[in-house]
Amino acid sequence: MLPPLDVPTMLLMTAAASLTMACSLAAMRQGRREGTGLWALALMLHTATYILYTLRGAVPDWASIVLANTLLSGTFALVLAAIDQFQGRGLPWRRMVLPVAATTLLSGVFIDDYRARLLVMGILPPLQLLLALQALWQPRLPQVRGAVLLSVGLGLQVLLLSMRGVLVVTSSIPIEGFTRGSSMQSVVFMAAFMVVILASLGFILMTKDRADAANRHFAAHDALTGVANRRSLIAALERDVARAVRTREPYALMMLDIDHFKAVNDTRGHLAGDQVLCHVAAMLRTRLRAQDLVGRYGGEEFLVLLPDTPLRGAMELAEVLRQAVAQTPCMHEGRALPVTVSIGVCGGRLEQGDHGDLLIHTADQALYAAKAAGRNRVEGALLPRDGPPTLPMQRREGLAYPVPFPHRSEELP
């Protein structure tokens, strides 16, 4: 066991650590509601709790016992609230308020019974922390480094508070034991100092991991529609082309343009235009394979990358997509906005020297042909080998395909 340490010194160390962490979290808090503010408030209550503990005997017992224990219970209630807010849930008011009220009541009832108070604090706060741990891991977090560190901190606090409650029942504890240094008190208060550091660093790491994940997402995705952005599209296309050249697999690309999109913005407003973009992106994303990639190329244009897909299969899929968009109007402010798209498709087996720009240019030429032919249609082009792209395939509006995702149809002759 540890040799007895000076209790007031350890209490002040814990208060100082809590205050430092609270100020740090308050300084890093941003506009997003991720529990950081609630965690900082919890640390402020923890600071006040340990200052009142330090003043035991110098202030009235109701302050250093009842109020201090209430603030400690409030600290754990705010920890639970911060975790729930981080998880995107509402504040669990019942699970927050009831333990705090019970702690206040029982601390007042047993204000002169140190053993009973230790037993109460060995039961209620551990239950609060177990609720916080349950909230932390439901659902399981995608980034677990910070959650593990936070769990270690809270778990250590649960273990020590519970052990002290058990010792109350199984051994004789002097009434004056709180202010008089002992091995048990040294372990408990040293652990309290460690918990503040571990749990707070764990929560900070959780918010950092989420911010890093969000930054990675927005670096590769269009902020409005959620599909891939132009930069990630081009990077994926170049990787796909290099692989298709090596493996001699067919490759296809679609360029899709929303018909009369400017008219939507001019007559319905830009919010309606944004809704149309999101609607079309969602229609595309839900009708593609896992290995396909859809992204916003710019403005109202989208690219769809189709690895290991011959031109005929891409043409058939394009017609399925065109029909799906045409038959599903976009809802905006309770009104249905009709939407159609024109699609240019290119594809074939790639050869040494082929690159992504060639596919984009060829699909763009096919898209131009679709729009020139009246819009709301699909046009396909073979990859050019000697001369400009050829447009051997046309699709009439309304042509139906019985197979919804025929990506692997036989290649055109």
Task: Mean pLDDT check: name the lowest of 3-12, 154-163, 181-190.
Answer: 181-190
Answer left, alpha or beta for residue 409, where phi above 0 means left and psi between -120 and 50 means alpha. beta
Rg (CA), the chain: 32
Task: Name which residue leads in pLDDT, 76 or 386.
Answer: 76
> What rounded mean pLDDT belongs to the chain?
85
Q: Is 190 exposed, middle or buried (0-12, 13-18, 19+ CB in 10 A)?
A: middle
∠ CA(243), CA(244), CA(248), 5° rounding? 125
Please say if the pLDDT value at position 343 is more than 70. Answer: yes
Please say if the pLDDT value at position 175 is more than 50. Answer: no
pLDDT at 325 (0 to 100): 95
Say what percent of the chain tops pLDDT 70. Answer: 86
Please say if the pLDDT value at position 246 is more than 70. Answer: yes
∠ CA(223), CA(227), CA(233), 5° rounding? 105
pLDDT tier at 398, thresholds 50, 70, 90: very low
Say what percent of the chain tops pLDDT 90. Answer: 57
pLDDT at 125 (0 to 100): 94
pLDDT tens per residue across span 92-145: 999 999 999 999 999 999 998 888 888 899 999 999 999 999 999 988 776 678
Q: Is 209 exposed, middle or buried (0-12, 13-18, 19+ CB in 10 A)?
A: middle
Closest alpha carbon to 198 in 164, 248, 149: 149
**CA dist., res. 365 & res. 358, Å (int):** 11
Which residues have CB under 8 Å from 34's CB, separation 6+?
Answer: 85, 86, 207, 210
pLDDT at 179 (0 to 100): 54
Q: Which CATH architecture has domain 7-220?
A: Up-down Bundle (1.20)
Task: Name which residue leads in pLDDT, 352 or 73.
Answer: 73
**CA dist., res. 48 & res. 54, Å (int):** 10
Q: Which CATH architecture has domain 230-395?
A: 2-Layer Sandwich (3.30)
**CA dist., res. 236 & res. 226, Å (int):** 16
Residue spans in the chain of domains classed CATH 1.20.1070: 7-220
pLDDT tens per residue across span 278-311: 999 999 999 998 899 999 999 999 999 999 999 9
Task: Name which residue leads in pLDDT, 380 or 160.
Answer: 380
CB 272 within 8 A of CB 262: no
DSSP string over 301-320: EEEEEEET--HHHHHHHHHH
Residue spans in the chain of domains classed CATH 3.30.70.270: 230-395
pLDDT at 373 (0 to 100): 93
pLDDT tens per residue across span 18-60: 999 998 888 876 656 788 999 999 999 999 999 999 898 899 9
Closest alpha carbon to 324 in 264, 391, 251, 405: 405
